[in-house]
Structure 1
Amino acid sequence: MFGGASRASEYMEEDTIGAPTSRRTAKPAEAEGGLPVLPPMPGQVDAPVETATAREAPEISPAPPAAVAAPARSDSTSILFGGAPTVLADAPASKPTSGWQGFLAKLGLSTKPRPQEVARREHAERQARFEEEVRRAVWTRAVSVLVANRKGGVGKTPASVLLSGTMAAIKGGSVAVIDAADDSGALRLRAEGTPRLGMGELVRDIAQIKTAGQLKGYTAPQTSFADVIGSAPERPRLSGEDVVNVSKVVDEFYSIRVMDSGNVYRAEAFQGAVSVTDVLVIPITNAGDAVIDALELLRQLRAAGGAPKKLADTAVILRMHDGRPESPVVGEEVERLLRDAGMNTLLDIPYDAHIAERGEITLGKLQPVTREAFVAAAAAVVRTLQDNVSND
């Protein structure tokens, strides 16, 4: 169907819904510092990957509803647009609230709502439920999200900024997003502000950080209430220990940590990030190379076994529409490959000109439909966090 798709048969996993498949893998080797070592990429000269044999796979929760496309508008009641959350019990869906039918309803005259009115109320109620899920979610420790895909240009950094920003806007803060790429990533460039300090300086000073006020000095506060810890271009390469040490300090002062990763799965920084992650988010585009790289990430994590395998089995996929031409046939093939790989949560993020500008991203400048799609994505991530962390 597209270049490289024939390789996908190497990565197929049985669907785990209803009847989990038994799989067993050899215990992954550990690098210095106790971090799990992922199997080598195809073509590398590292030790050969052992073929996974049977072990019990965890049951995966049903997929949450995907974000429903809605026309861009300015009358949303979402708190992300300055409104109050919809009260679901205010009025039944059968009672119209707008237009001439709404006027007649206020006079006590019975009318049948138009399909558009029913769809509008159902959409508002669905968004309210998503926001409520995010707002009410709590844990007995800090939780973490890793945004990863080896393929560049699929929207990892925008997804990191906007997913963390959406959760922070709904929960009122306490969300940090950090640059966890081995070499300096683009997080500092896509976030708001021009901070003087960042990830490189935080790694250098990590032993001296004892208070929230000290840590705040290394962040770029966002209008969404999230805090970004980006990197200057000249910072040293991160090790796995660097990522783990920074994560421990960030977790002392934030309830949610989001990590924007690099493109090299076998880099120490990536392995360190995997070791301190609760939920994996994989951005893709509607293209063959993007999904093939996503499938390779899933394969490597599953081959590592243990916690990395659980991350793969419960991953949340965000399909980022970036404005480039898309083939419906390719889109269907992307969905099939992900479904065959056992992925149950796929959400679409619509094209947004503000993201496509490749400059600083401000949550409030997105189109309403894009922000609502990220609310749905945040709810899916929170739901997976609740499942993955509740039994710790």
Structure 2
Amino acid sequence: MTDSSRGIASDVFGGAARASQYIEEDAKRPRAAQQPAEDLGELAALEPDVATDSPLIAAPPWSSAAVTAGTSLPADSTSVLFGGPAAALTVADPGKATKGFRGAMARLGLPVKPGAGEVEARRVESVRLAAETVVRQATWTRAVSVLVNNPKGGTGKTPTAVILAGVLASIRGGSTAVLEVSDDPGALGYRAEGNPKLGLGELVRDIDQVKTAGRLHGYTAPQTSFADVIASTGRRDRLTGDAVVSVCKVIDEFYGIRVMDSGNVTTSSAFQGAVSVADVLVIPVMNAGDSVLEAIQLLEELRAAGGQPKRLADTAIAIRLTDGRPENQAVSDEVARLLHEAGVTSLHEVPYDAHIAERQQITLSKLAPATRDAFAAAAASVVTSLKNSVSTEH
């Protein structure tokens, strides 16, 4: 982060840079107001690689920016995230109403157009189907991996890893593993479903004996999303970079996608090992100065290292979560501007979700529809970046 950027940021963030070690507790009330859809139109229309002077981050057409946080989904949604079969995905005729009184009149043969609510519901459905299609149809010639990190604690790394992996697994039909790569036991085992007897510590111990998918499965916590979590089940030895690489090598033999939930110490051996076996970096942020400043510092450190770390920084994707605390629009705009200047080309907005705020086990089906939409959009950006990353190897 440049000196000039730090100076401008300090005008908005106040003492954020001095509070990098302080983690506030999540508030329990929902966000008071959501950003109107019309304010996001320009953001949704931008391609990821289009240069712009706007403080908003460019995002692909399926970005969650195109879906407002307050949008309700139709009760008969055919999204696979809501239990609908992929074969049933269709888009209604935009010129004819199908819902409510208007729909009844249209079925009688009258030329009744859909109302504003139905038009918006169709738009939301269209955006979601586009994102799901991108995720479902993406293919690679090897196993791929996603590293979730922000050095600032309390930014939602673990929920992001669990939900992102869950969405990928739900849409693609499984073959997604979530791995804890923090030095010491983190919160992944606590936030994931289930209470397995064996986990990461035991897997590291037994890694040389794991030769089959059945054996590896014994160290996982299967999720209702079809993702498999490999986390600590208790105390374990401090994780090393060599252990991370060894475990990832075995996981990649049996899973198509690996999502890594990391810790807060970016200079640790475990984090460096995770960086060496990652294809895409996802950075969770909050609308707070310390959150974005440490994210930018991470990007600077990775770029300074060159090679693989620099490539991760240059293709990083940001996911902005909301924990329920009152938010200042000036801070929100400044977060987006600073991330854009730091080279982040895709920023996805996730609305407040009471299920995430509970800090208990996360179940994909218990998330609000808008939350799942937002993560589906983020997943589409992730798989697009993964495809680009793997294609450059040939």
Q: 1:154 to 1:321 in 2, by over 3 A?
A: same
Aligned residues: 344
Distance 1:232 1:89 in 2: 43
Distance 1:166 1:89 in 2: 20
Check conservation: 2:148, 2:281, Cα contact below 8 A: yes
Match of residue 71 from structure 2: 71
Q: Which amino acid aligns with 2:14?
A: G
Q: Report whether the alignment pairs 1:294 with 2:295.
A: yes
Equivalent residue of 2:349, what SS? Answer: strand
Q: Report whether the alignment pairs 1:141 with 2:152.
A: no
Distance 2:209 2:79 in 1: 40
Check conservation: 1:86, 1:128, Cα contact below 8 A: no
Equivalent residue of 1:257, what SS? Answer: strand
Q: How big is the alpha-carbon RMSD for the aligned residues of Structure 1 and Structure 2?
A: 2.0
Alpha-carbon offset, residue 118 of structure 1: 1.6
Structure 1 gap ranges (5+): 8-15, 20-59
Distance 2:305 2:167 in 1: 32
Match of residue 361 from structure 1: 362
Distance 1:295 1:338 in 2: 7
Could you tell which deviates more after superposition, 82-91 or 299-308? 82-91
Match of residue 216 from structure 2: 215
Match of residue 14 from structure 2: 3
Q: Which amino acid aligns with 1:248?
A: K
Equivalent residue of 1:210, what SS? Answer: coil
Match of residue 41 from structure 2: none
Could you tell which deviates more after superposition, 379-388 or 81-90? 81-90
Residues 198-247 of structure 1: per-residue CA shift (max 9 Å, x gap): 11111111000000000000000011100000013411111110000000
Alpha-carbon offset, residue 107 of structure 1: 2.5
Alpha-carbon offset, residue 380 of structure 1: 1.2
Match of residue 100 from structure 2: 99
Structure 2 gap ranges (5+): 1-11, 19-47, 52-56
Distance 2:16 2:190 in 1: 33
Check conservation: 1:151, 1:263, Cα contact below 8 A: yes
Q: Which amino acid aligns with 2:63?
A: A
Residues 341-380 of structure 1: per-residue CA shift (max 9 Å, x gap): 1211000111111111111111111111111111111111
Check conservation: 1:219, 1:229, Cα contact below 8 A: yes
Q: 1:357 to 1:242 in 2, by over 3 A?
A: same
Distance 2:179 2:84 in 1: 29
Taking only the aligned residue pairs, the percentage that are identical comes to: 59
Q: Which amino acid aligns with 1:136?
A: Q
Match of residue 247 from structure 2: 246
More helix by share: 2
Residues 125-172 of structure 1: per-residue CA shift (max 9 Å, x gap): 110111111111111100000000000111000000010011111111
Match of residue 272 from structure 1: 273
Distance 2:286 2:336 in 1: 11
Check conservation: 1:168, 1:225, Cα contact below 8 A: yes
Distance 2:171 2:50 in 1: 33
Q: Which amino acid aligns with 2:181?
A: A
Distance 2:152 2:303 in 1: 19
Distance 1:232 1:276 in 2: 24
Residues 318-337 of structure 1: per-residue CA shift (max 9 Å, x gap): 00101112111110110111
Check conservation: 1:165, 1:363, Cα contact below 8 A: yes
Q: TM-score, normalised by structure 1?
A: 0.83
Alpha-carbon offset, residue 180 of structure 1: 0.4
Q: Which amino acid aligns with 2:350?
A: I
Distance 2:17 2:366 in 1: 40
Distance 1:91 1:65 in 2: 18
Distance 1:90 1:190 in 2: 36
